[in-house]
Chains A and B, each alone.
Chain A
């Protein structure tokens, strides 16, 4: 396989696979489908890492300062098989960093955004395929940076995923962490660059490249959610990037953006000064609160599509759904201060943020009611993706309602930085987004690989995950009500929290069960790629454009015929046709006026 043959066979299909062909198809691919799959495999791999880190945290909370069985001796031989307090801070920092920046954000925007946007709008590819490829490959330097940060001896970055200065900005504040925090900041900034490239691409593609007839109000809600998410990223990310560089300067060049005068850290006087620690919190949350919606809106979109498909009924209130996504995004920019109610921020400002935060619950409530309206009066098929989507609705209600407690400023005084918060965001991010992502994998798997995943194994996976995750996260509300604080390596030496050990042990065993249940998923996933049942283009009898393409869609171009769109994607059970689905591409029967997209 010399160079010349590599060139001549580079794009040939008949000849053997050459190295350059392999590289351009599977490595540096510009095909949105391959990039989507690269994101999917990478994020699932990180999902495993993040889950194991969580088990480390849980082990310490259930059996503080005790030897970890089997693996403890290898991992922490210096500490005699125990988790050290400094490694504990690294554990929760890395768990959050991996889950947020390497799993949730890239699996939604990177994997599903990439895979679905061109297919669902009837386009050949993204507007900027090279930029798309770069958005994936910019993740790798981020992986390397965070990896170095994690593995820096004696222990990695331990400033929490929020990286609050001066703890993160002054090196002496975390002795032994050396350059770990700087690597961490670089890594997160690189993730931001990757997201920004994706965001520009998604916006352009959705605005410019829709198939004939596909007006904005005929888009599936998945695409609406991806579009709004891209807008959020484009406007919020620059602030985080700027903040990240300022903190790097504080660490490396002795500037004092976030470091006040006269600090005495670790018995050494700091030379820099004149800054304000709260400034970082404002900059950080100006990105990271919209980011919370970046982490849920695409999941909501995908759940809407799956619910409508398996209720065999149009989505209830399509336009209110679009407006509520936009409402969440708009309000999402003016609620960041609710992370700072007890931070020392002016309490008057706290009151303003409290009102805007209360109001953001409204569009979320509207969405829940519309999902319930969608399944009302349908013919519900309890497939695996449908179960995950129904559970999303059920769990999102819990995560949404618990948010009202912390929006209420006086209550937040007590529950801030307790496990009540931990329960809240895990209900939104794990029981919500991660479950929606699992459902979406089952749903679009036949499109990605031309084969379906096993339904029986899928339902067992759902059942066990559902039980164990509630066992894990629900009781955290109760811990939070007692005031049990986050991020403590050993909370039990406080009299107030001493008696909470048994409940924490129960939670830990549920968490272990939850992680173990994912083995069923992994086995099903890999088995089905090669041996799953072959299904046709449209196994779920679904309406939207991606099901019009072959499974898997053909290389460059996706579709074997140009899709023309006649209606919205949710016309299930329409009286106009005999079948219970009515694809967007199917011309209306003779004598039937084309249906409009309006409401009654």
Chain B
């Protein structure tokens, strides 16, 4: 039976790698079962890092899997006539297999620092060097995303703000800054196609920024448990050309002002 069990353990790296190959390579039974389309400028760095770690860990996965199989196969007590190699270990080996992974891990750690810094610590500026103001304020509440565009004066909380629920329209190719907040519990603002995820913490003011490179409609997902209706806290990210965005914005403002309660029409 030792042969059978050895082969069973060999199936782990064989099938394990096969599943990932089917997922990564387009077409086949796992078509479209991989990182969703990336429409952001910064996403490639994240995806490349993911793939880099996948290849690196893949090598270790295959290596250890094959060793486990081979030792089980070769040193099966039923088939192995050799005496046991009586040893308590090897200093040299211990040093080798401590330093090699340590160096590799440290390399990954340092290698990714730039991507993290770029993502979390950099901040877009205007031509004059001042911080770019947020395009909109996004407020998470059970179970919707309230969106408040700053409007022409670029200030949130003024009368020219545009209020929308769940549909976030953005101009393509523009560096967009968003302020996010929550008024009740934790939420997480997750844009799978933009490789953005940021928990929204009540009591904290947070900013995210990104630059899209493709138009289309994508999902806004709440990724932090926020109560019984967590699953339906769904928004839409609508990335449009500059002209389309302007046109939509104008019509949305017009729609918002279509009321007798509007302060402008009172005059």
Query: Contact: B231 with A491, CB < 8 Å?
Result: yes
Q: Which B residues are in CB contact (< 8 Å) with A314?
A: 86-88
Residues of chain B from 35 to 69 with CB closer than 8 A to chain A in the complex? 35-36, 45-46, 49-50, 53-54, 56-57, 60-61, 64-65, 67-68
CB nearest neighbor in B for A89? B228
Q: Which B residues are in CB contact (< 8 Å) with A580?
A: 84
Partner of B101, one of A348, A365, A489: A365
Partner of B23, one of A354, A409, A481, A573: A481
The reply to whether the CB of B199 lies closer than 8 angstroms to some CB of chain A is: yes
The reply to whether the CB of A317 lies closer than 8 angstroms to some CB of chain B is: yes
A254 to chain B minimum Cβ distance, whole angstroms, is 17
Cα A479 to Cα B23 with chains together (Å) = 10
Q: Which B residues are in CB contact (< 8 Å) with A89?
A: 225, 227-228, 230
CB nearest neighbor in B for A386? B5
Given contacts A313-B86, A318-B89, A483-B36, contact A365 B196 (CB under 8 A): no
B19 to chain A minimum Cβ distance, whole angstroms, is 6
Q: Which A residues are in CB contact (< 8 Å) with B202?
A: 166, 260, 263, 277
A: interface residue count bin: 35 or more
Cα A495 to Cα B201 with chains together (Å) = 26
A304 to chain B minimum Cβ distance, whole angstroms, is 13
Residues of chain B from 151 to 197 with CB closer than 8 A to chain A in the complex? 183-186, 188, 190, 192-193, 195-197
CB nearest neighbor in B for A361? B105
Query: Contact: A362 with B227, CB < 8 Å?
Result: no
Given contacts A159-B225, A359-B105, A478-B30, contact A409 B89 (CB under 8 A): no
The reply to whether the CB of A245 lies closer than 8 angstroms to some CB of chain B is: no
Mask: chain A, 387-406; 1 = CB below 8 Å from B; 0 = not: 10011011101100110110
The reply to whether the CB of B144 lies closer than 8 angstroms to some CB of chain A is: no
Query: Contact: A174 with B2, CB < 8 Å?
Result: no
Cα A499 to Cα B34 with chains together (Å) = 12
Query: Contact: B225 with A362, CB < 8 Å?
Result: no
Query: Contact: B77 with A381, CB < 8 Å?
Result: yes
B59 to chain A minimum Cβ distance, whole angstroms, is 10
CB nearest neighbor in B for A324? B98
Query: Contact: A355 with B197, CB < 8 Å?
Result: no
Partner of A600, one of B60, B88, B219: B88
Q: Which B residues are in CB contact (< 8 Å) with A276?
A: 203
Q: Which B residues are in CB contact (< 8 Å) with A316?
A: 87-90
CB nearest neighbor in B for A274? B203
A64 to chain B minimum Cβ distance, whole angstroms, is 9
The reply to whether the CB of A52 lies closer than 8 angstroms to some CB of chain B is: no
9-residue interface stretch from B111-119, B243-251, B256-264: B111-119
Query: Contact: A366 with B77, CB < 8 Å?
Result: no
Q: Which A residues are in CB contact (< 8 Å) with B34?
A: 478, 481-482
Query: Contact: B108 with A347, CB < 8 Å?
Result: no
Query: Contact: B221 with A174, CB < 8 Å?
Result: no
Partner of B8, one of A319, A372, A408, A463: A463
Partner of A391, one of B9, B35, B88, B112: B9
B234 to chain A minimum Cβ distance, whole angstroms, is 6
Residues of chain B from 93 to 118 with CB closer than 8 A to chain A in the complex? 93-94, 97-98, 101-102, 105-106, 108-109, 112-113, 115-117
The reply to whether the CB of B265 lies closer than 8 angstroms to some CB of chain A is: no
B: interface residue count bin: 35 or more
Query: Contact: B84 with A358, CB < 8 Å?
Result: no
B108 to chain A minimum Cβ distance, whole angstroms, is 6
Residues of chain A from 218 to 275 with CB closer than 8 A to chain B in the complex? 260-266, 275
Q: Which B residues are in CB contact (< 8 Å) with A380?
A: 2, 71-72, 75-77, 80
Given contacts A277-B202, A413-B119, A483-B36, contact A475 B75 (CB under 8 A): no
Given contacts A265-B184, A381-B77, A410-B115, contact A487 B230 (CB under 8 A): yes
Q: Which A residues are in CB contact (< 8 Å) with B30?
A: 478, 503
Residues of chain B from 205 to 253 with CB closer than 8 A to chain A in the complex? 206, 217-219, 221, 223-232, 234
The reply to whether the CB of A488 lies closer than 8 angstroms to some CB of chain B is: yes
Query: Contact: B225 with A496, CB < 8 Å?
Result: no
Q: Which A residues are in CB contact (< 8 Å) with B200?
A: 344
Query: Contact: A173 with B67, CB < 8 Å?
Result: no
Given contacts A263-B184, A391-B9, A408-B108, contact A490 B231 (CB under 8 A): yes
B64 to chain A minimum Cβ distance, whole angstroms, is 5
Cα A350 to Cα B72 with chains together (Å) = 41
Query: Contact: A496 with B221, CB < 8 Å?
Result: yes
Query: Contact: A376 with B75, CB < 8 Å?
Result: yes
CB nearest neighbor in A for B68? A394
Q: Which B residues are in CB contact (< 8 Å) with A354?
A: 109, 112, 116
A397 to chain B minimum Cβ distance, whole angstroms, is 5
A387 to chain B minimum Cβ distance, whole angstroms, is 6
Partner of B33, one of A372, A394, A478: A478
CB nearest neighbor in B for A489? B231
Query: Contact: B197 with A413, CB < 8 Å?
Result: yes
The reply to whether the CB of A167 lies closer than 8 angstroms to some CB of chain B is: yes
Query: Contact: B184 with A266, CB < 8 Å?
Result: yes
A75 to chain B minimum Cβ distance, whole angstroms, is 18
Q: Which B residues are in CB contact (< 8 Å) with A390?
A: 5, 9, 68, 72
The reply to whether the CB of A164 lies closer than 8 angstroms to some CB of chain B is: yes
CB nearest neighbor in A for B206? A344
Cα A475 to Cα B67 with chains together (Å) = 24
Residues of chain A from 109 to 151 with CB closer than 8 A to chain B in the complex? none
Cα A387 to Cα B68 with chains together (Å) = 12
The reply to whether the CB of A49 lies closer than 8 angstroms to some CB of chain B is: no
Query: Contact: A387 with B5, CB < 8 Å?
Result: yes
Query: Contact: A372 with B64, CB < 8 Å?
Result: yes
Query: Contact: A312 with B77, CB < 8 Å?
Result: yes
Partner of A166, one of B98, B102, B186: B186
Query: Contact: B19 with A474, CB < 8 Å?
Result: yes
The reply to whether the CB of A16 lies closer than 8 angstroms to some CB of chain B is: no
Q: Give the 6 A-B residue pairs with the shortest CB-CB distance, closest first.
A: A260-B203, A377-B85, A573-B84, A347-B120, A317-B89, A86-B228
- Name A residues whose Cβ lies closer than 8 Å to a Cβ of B: 85-86, 88-89, 158-160, 164-167, 170, 173-175, 260-266, 275-278, 311-320, 342-344, 347-348, 350-351, 354-355, 358-359, 361-362, 365-366, 368-370, 372-373, 375-382, 387, 390-391, 393-395, 397-398, 401-402, 404-405, 408-411, 413-418, 459, 463, 466, 470, 474-475, 477-479, 481-483, 485, 487-491, 493-496, 499-500, 503, 570, 572-575, 580, 599-600
- Name B residues whose Cβ lies closer than 8 Å to a Cβ of A: 1-2, 5, 8-9, 12, 15-16, 19-20, 23, 30, 32-36, 45-46, 49-50, 53-54, 56-57, 60-61, 64-65, 67-68, 71-72, 75-77, 80, 82-91, 93-94, 97-98, 101-102, 105-106, 108-109, 112-113, 115-117, 119-121, 141-142, 183-186, 188, 190, 192-193, 195-204, 206, 217-219, 221, 223-232, 234
